[in-house]
């Protein structure tokens, strides 16, 4: 059974509904492995995300942070033994480059761990994602990046949707002809259990250029 969590961002902690479901889904709590989104930065990386688990009462025997301080072979070994793999929020492009540089995508896809990502991490979990200046990236020309591809859809996570729905719909129109896109803001989650998709918070589905708000199912 596979569990994938595509999260927005949480200013405080996991919402009560999300904490409850995570308690049920995370049965193996030997090792939490966090993958940096700024792998050259080593101070306090992952502290916020770890605090979310602590507040939810989900503790692990071991905690690992994968960045450039960890050798490539060791990083892949750590992932193979993970109970939960968490892709941290932050710089989506740097994390994407790190995943490719360390060839971590294959190891993550093979893992039986619960895989989670917040903001940038959720975006990089998806099959493809649009890197656009409209979404805050410091680039001139938009381009589509390949993600890990845990599920065959795209994610736009932790973006001010409520005030930018026409922009989001227009920017993602082309990609939405190829695959479904789940777009969310803060305090949201898209959970995939095997092939069933569940929704928490304000999440929108963009498919074939059409956008609709999804009902909560968690």
Is residue 62 in a domain? yes
Mean pLDDT of the region 19-46: 90
Domain range for residue 198?
A: 3-213
Give CA–CA dist 188/75, Å, rounded. 29
Q: Give the number of domains in the chain.
A: 1
Region 186-215: what's the mean pLDDT?
95
pLDDT higher than 90, residue 46: no
Over residues 122-139, mean pLDDT: 95
Q: What is the pLDDT of residue 150?
A: 97
Q: What is the pLDDT of residue 214?
A: 97
* Cα separation, 187 vs 82, whole angstroms: 25
CA–CA dist 139, 47 (Å, integer): 29
Is 158 a domain residue?
yes
Q: What is the mean pLDDT of residues 164-193?
A: 94
The answer as to whether 149 is a domain residue is yes
41 pLDDT band, cuts 50/70/90, is confident
- pLDDT over 90, % of the chain: 86
Average pLDDT over residues 174-188: 95
Tell me the average pLDDT of the chain. 94
Among the listed residues 7, 107, 111, the one whose alpha carbon sits nearest the alpha carbon of residue 53: 7
pTM: 0.95
CATH number of the domain within which 166 lies: 3.40.50.880
Lowest mean pLDDT across 65-69, 81-85, 119-123, 159-163: 159-163
């Amino acid at each position: 059974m596979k569990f994938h969590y595509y999260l927005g961002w949480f200013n405080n902690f996991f919402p009560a509904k999300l904490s409850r479901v995570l308690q049920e889904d995370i049965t193996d709590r030997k090792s939490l492995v966090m993958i940096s989104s700024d792998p050259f930065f080593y101070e306090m990386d992952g502290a916020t995300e770890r605090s979310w688990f602590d507040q939810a009462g989900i503790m692990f025997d071991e905690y690992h942070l994968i960045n450039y301080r960890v050798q490539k072979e060791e990083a892949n070994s750590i992932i193979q033994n993970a109970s939960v793999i968490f892709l941290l929020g932050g710089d989506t492009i740097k994390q994407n480059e790190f995943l490719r540089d360390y060839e971590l995508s294959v190891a993550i896809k093979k893992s039986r761990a619960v895989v989670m990502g917040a903001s940038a991490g959720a975006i990089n979990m998806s099959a493809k994602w649009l890197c656009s200046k409209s979404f805050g990236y410091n680039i001139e020309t938009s381009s589509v990046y390949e993600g890990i591809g845990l599920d065959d859809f795209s994610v736009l996570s932790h973006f001010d949707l409520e005030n930018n729905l026409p922009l989001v719909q227009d920017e993602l129109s082309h990609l939405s002809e190829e695959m479904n896109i789940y777009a969310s803001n803060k305090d949201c989650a898209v959970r995939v259990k095997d092939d069933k998709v569940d929704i928490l918070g304000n999440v929108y589905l963009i498919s074939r250029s059409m956008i609709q708000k999804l009902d909560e199912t968690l």
